[in-house]
Amino acid sequence: EAGVVQSPRYKIIEKKQPVAFWCNPISGHNTLYWYLQNLGQGPELLIRYENEEAVDDSQLPKDRFSAERLKGVDSTLKIQPAELGDSAVYLCASSLDRPGTQYFGPGTRLLVL
Amino acid sequence: GQSLEQPSEVTAVEGAIVQINCTYQTSGFYGLSWYQQHDGGAPTFLSYNGLDGLEETGRFSSFLSRSDSYGYLLLQELQMKDSASYFCAVIDTVGSSNTGKLIFGQGTTLQVKP
């Protein structure tokens, strides 16, 4: 079984530029999550999807961040414009129906200069 | 507010046993999970406790006491490859319903020495 796939793995951009991250969850997993992880910290939820519906986006900075999950499978997270403080690892995870069990992708390491 | 506390660093020798504690104060609680993350890698699910008591999975065990808002991860027969960060995570609730949302602690860096 293929795991969660994310791309790109690394991204370096200048501040004020846009950036997008892509995630393909494990086949059949209806729940998809985007997390942000700063160095030395635990992951923090940005948005959670049940199929194509965003059921929790309370921690997504909506002035610059947006996300979509078309057809309830792949998802894209976008930042426009990026700020220096957005430098972090962006993790995508998916889950089925086992409590507390999420499967994470390798993440995208973003560096904003 | 939501807070989880775990030690920032733990050091142990190969073959030993180590316990990583986690205390939590959250508005909702459905269960406690543990994740392992190697440097530059993805968090990997280790264990889940929905009820009080001990769950054992190979060399790893996890314990939960709801009344004490406390849990721990126990790693036995430590190996060098166990050097990683370990995160406890609370499953949030709305009422008594599982929201699926995980709230992570800051992580404990475990260093296993020869």
Both tokens assigned to B11: 């050091």
Decide if A104 contacts A93 (C-beta within 8 A). Answer: yes
Both tokens assigned to B6: 């775990």
Task: Tell me how many residue pairs between chain A and chain B have CB atoms under 8 A apart.
Answer: 60
The 3-class SS string of B6-35 reads CCCEEEEECCCCEEEEEEEECCCCCEEEEE
Q: What integer pLDDT is reported at residue B109 of this predicted model? A: 98
Give the range among B39-48, B52-61, B90-99 with minimum mean pLDDT: B90-99
Instruction: List pLDDT tens digits, range B14-37.
Output: 999 999 999 999 888 889 999 999
Q: What integer pLDDT is reported at residue B1 of this predicted model? A: 64
Return per-residue pLDDT of chain A as tens, 113 residues.
Answer: 689 999 999 999 999 999 999 999 999 999 999 999 999 999 999 999 999 999 999 899 999 999 999 888 999 999 999 999 999 999 999 998 788 999 999 999 999 99
CA distance to partner chain B, nearest, from residue A39 (Å): 10
Q: What integer pLDDT is reported at residue B92 of this predicted model? A: 85
Contacts of A88 in chain B (CB under 8 A): none
What's B106's DSSP letter?
-
Q: What integer pLDDT is reported at residue B79 of this predicted model? A: 97
Q: What integer pLDDT is reported at residue B90 of this predicted model? A: 94
Nearest by Cα to A79 from A19, A39, A25: A19
Q: Model confidence at B40, in pLDDT bands (50, 70, 90)?
A: very high
Q: What integer pLDDT is reported at residue A1 of this predicted model? A: 67
Decide if A75 contacts A68 (C-beta within 8 A). Answer: yes
Inter-chain CB proximity A105 and B42 less than 8 Å: yes
pLDDT top residue among B66 and A71: B66
Q: Model confidence at B66, in pLDDT bands (50, 70, 90)?
A: very high
Inter-chain CB proximity B42 and A91 less than 8 Å: yes
- How far apart CA B32 and CA B14 sit, in angstroms, is 27
User: Quick one: average pLDDT of B77-101?
Assistant: 89
A103 in B contact zone (CB under 8 Å): yes
Surface-to-core class of residue A36, CB atoms within 10 Å of its CB (0-12 exposed, 13-18 middle, 19+ buried)? buried
Task: Supply the DSSP string of A48-100, one letter for each residue.
Answer: EEETTEEEE-TTS-TTTEEEE-GGGS-EEEEESS--GGG-EEEEEEEE-SSTT
Inter-chain CB proximity A43 and B43 less than 8 Å: yes
